Chain A
């Protein structure tokens, strides 16, 4: 089935009004106008199913995990470990030993940088990233590079915001120890050719970490099909609460890595002289984890799969196309990031109107977008822009919101004309 046919086939069965009804916050007004929440790339909203799952856990099940002999501790542990299994099946990981709960993508990448990086990197070693990375996939590598004498190499982009694959491949050399790359660009929406990236790196024996923060709610993620060595994502971009995220790591790699934080749960035995480490994945989960967050994440995955991931993705693609067409028709608009393969993220600027002023005018019309550097300052510098406005879409976004966005942008243009 071609793309157009796929879109119309799925649009027929995808009832966005019903989906919206699942998200309580979407019915509120902002500044006296219906809320058009077009900032899902920053954080998605939560469906009732997630709110209820967290509420049920807090009301009936909470205790500390992996500790007590009492019943409630067992119930909490069961809920937490069931959430881990849910994440495993979602990612198609081989084992729950490969699923580490963290606070979010940022912490997941820092974990790898601190643990793997400090034990593996030597002076002169190289880490390859792309020019469109989020700060969370730049700064942790800069920190470990400064400490170990390793250095960052940056693969360039073309004018559409796509990875220049040949130049990326040419970067990979004898000193390359890791490729760390976004699956989807948060600032431009570019979907990176991660399968080819992994193949090129693995052909040279180089492991690959993928930053899946922006991908996980919108793209299929099968870590075994991708073949990546690490995959990091945040719950709050997947309709789950903040403060919970996941690091997937291939078991052999995680097994060889030292713990990065010490404390409760990550140890097997402790004497004053020395300690021994708990088994995977607990070795990397020092301290009491975000149990209710994990429960909420599992509920969010259930929810997304109940919608049909492909149907939701096709719906978002339809909105992206409608929004692209609508904005392109406005004089003075410039779209940034026009990759052939894009997620539902639309970065743009308008002549004569600074993105922050655009953000304020749109907010006044009830339209929530992000205006700024999108935590990707090196990318903004490359584009020669201090900031862009960014509208992003999710499973609950509508064509009416696209129209509201267009009207508000036209209104901003009139104010600043």
Chain B
């Protein structure tokens, strides 16, 4: 197990220069995520166009894995249909936990494969995906109720 398997160049780059960083206003959906164990926090805002995720931004602070994972995620899901986002999440989850071999080409997201060798870091990488799910649910309900922050614990 090498450190460079975890901290690949793509990850270090997205940590240094996170893509789609910020806040959408107005937004169709919004959710906050929190990893109380390490204090990582992030916030996702998104806009839909029909059943597609048209635009999203994330904001927050956390370790390189959580920041890079969120940044890579925003690039990967932009423009996807909601069901495609869900399918991609399942693939990424399998990749992170080592429980399933991704059947699709995950592109840059594959850089996160080293995380499975560091079990305590899996939650860092998956927090953004859980938060995105909550933001999509928020949009689907039309902001019906205040969304509880997503917690990894």
Contacts and interface: CB of A to CB of B under 8 A. Distances in A.
Interface residues of B, number: 20
B40 A386 contact: yes
Interface stretch (B56-64, B84-92, B98-106): B56-64
B121 interface: yes
Given A354-B62, A356-B63, A357-B63, A387 B3 contact: no
B37 interface: yes
A364 B3 contact: yes
A354 B64 contact: yes
Interface string B31-66: 000000111110000000000000000000111110
B7 interface: yes
B6 A360 contact: yes
A352 B142 CA distance: 38
A371 B63 CA distance: 11
A380 B61 CA distance: 15
A386 B61 CA distance: 9
Interface in A344-401: 353-357, 360-361, 364, 371-373, 380, 386-387
B122 interface: no
A200 to B, nearest CB: 34
Contacts of A415: 3, 7, 12
Contacts of B12: 415-416
B135 interface: no
Contacts of B124: 356
Contacts of A353: 64
Contacts of B3: 360-361, 364, 415
Most buried by B among A31, A353, A355, A360: A360
Contacts of B38: 356, 371-373, 386-387
Contacts of A364: 3
A386 B64 contact: no
Nearest to A386: B39
Most buried by B among A354, A361, A415: A354
Contacts, number: 47
Is the interface on chain A under 10, 10 to 19, 20 to 34, or 35 or more residues?
10 to 19
A380 B64 CA distance: 20
Nearest to B61: A386
Interface in A317-368: 353-357, 360-361, 364
A281 B146 CA distance: 51
Given A360-B6, A415-B7, A416-B12, A354 B37 contact: no
Given A356-B124, A415-B3, A415-B12, A372 B37 contact: yes
Most buried by A among B15, B63, B65: B63
B41 A416 contact: no
B118 A380 contact: no
B39 A373 contact: yes
Contacts of A355: 63
Nearest to B15: A416
A367 to B, nearest CB: 13
Contacts of A356: 38, 62-63, 65, 121, 124
Interface string B1-45: 101001100001001100000000000000000000111110000
A267 to B, nearest CB: 39
Contact of A357 (B1, B39, B61, B65): B65
Contact of B64 (A31, A371, A373, A416): A416
Contacts of A386: 38-41, 61-62
B153 to A, nearest CB: 13
B7 A380 contact: no
Contacts of B118: 360
A355 B40 CA distance: 11
Interface in B108-128: 118, 121, 124
A416 B118 CA distance: 18
A355 B12 CA distance: 15
Contact of A354 (B1, B41, B63): B63
Contacts of A354: 61-64
Interface in A50-84: none
A201 B40 CA distance: 39
Nearest to B37: A372
Interface in A399-417: 415-416
Contacts of B39: 372-373, 380, 386-387
18 contacts: A31-B1, A353-B64, A354-B62, A354-B64, A356-B38, A356-B65, A356-B124, A357-B63, A361-B7, A372-B37, A380-B39, A386-B40, A386-B41, A386-B62, A387-B39, A415-B12, A416-B12, A416-B16
Nearest 4 interchain pairs by C-beta? A386-B39, A354-B63, A356-B63, A357-B64
